[in-house]
Amino acid sequence: MNTLYYANKWARYFGVPISWIVTLAHLESGHDPRRVNMARAEKLGAWGLLQQMGDEAPYKIGVIKHAYRTHKPIVDVIKKKWRGRPQDLLDPDLNVIISAWQLSRLRKEFGDDFATVAAAYHQGAGAVRERLEEGKPPVSPRLQPKGYQYVTKALATQRQYGPALLAVHIPTLDEPTTTPVHGWRHELNGEHWSRL
């Protein structure tokens, strides 16, 4: 499976870094487009390369079809590959289109900080927005341990793919650099959030 092919193909349309798509595909499915997780069966499961939720897909596809109706490559993929079934999300083209669109919306709301965008992708934009509005960091190791682990793994994975793939400089473990996040910073080598 060449995740990079699909990430490169769709990232430009939605204005997101290729590295975000590749990193999250690594975390969500291990780059396996056939992965299905039915742990959340009430949401019709999580499907495909970037684990899109089956119950959310019809809404997302509808918004994308309307917003990008003049973008023939996007419309063509949706017309050809979306039949309204969760299993349609196993198609990497369709899955990456939805995920790239979702990441573009998160980027518009939370900016270019990948740690916050990854937290919102994993836990939902509403949960992250609420925490930020309360003056709290996007995730807490004590209160949201799974979300915190996800963000930590996302940052480490993004560094793993190397500078050629990344849209921004990712510091090495030796650099005491921080990434600002809405009044918070995530210390990449210390793996914790602190108030600026």
| 170: containing domain | 129-196
Confidence label for 161 from pLDDT (cuts 50, 70 and 90): confident
Cβ contact 103:121 at 8 Å: yes
Q: How many domains does the chain have?
A: 2
Regarding whether 61 and 14 lie in a shared domain, the answer is yes
Residue 19 vs residues 23, 93, 118, 172: alpha-carbon distances, Å? 6, 17, 12, 16
| Residue 175 counted as domain residue | yes
Q: Which of 79, 110, 141 is the last residue of a domain?
A: 110
Q: How confident is the model over 1-50, as pLDDT tens digits?
A: 588 899 999 998 999 999 999 999 999 999 999 999 998 777 789 999 99
Mean pLDDT on 86-90 = 96
Regarding whether 159 and 97 lie in a shared domain, the answer is no
- At residue 187, φ and ψ (nearest 5 deg) are -80, 110
| Residue 55 counted as domain residue | yes
| Residue 118 counted as domain residue | no
**Residue bearing the bigger pLDDT, 159 or 194:** 159
Mean pLDDT of the chain: 85
CB burial class (10 A; 0-12, 13-18, 19+) of residue 156?
middle
Domain containing residue 42: CATH number: 1.10.530.10
- Say what percent of the chain tops pLDDT 90: 70
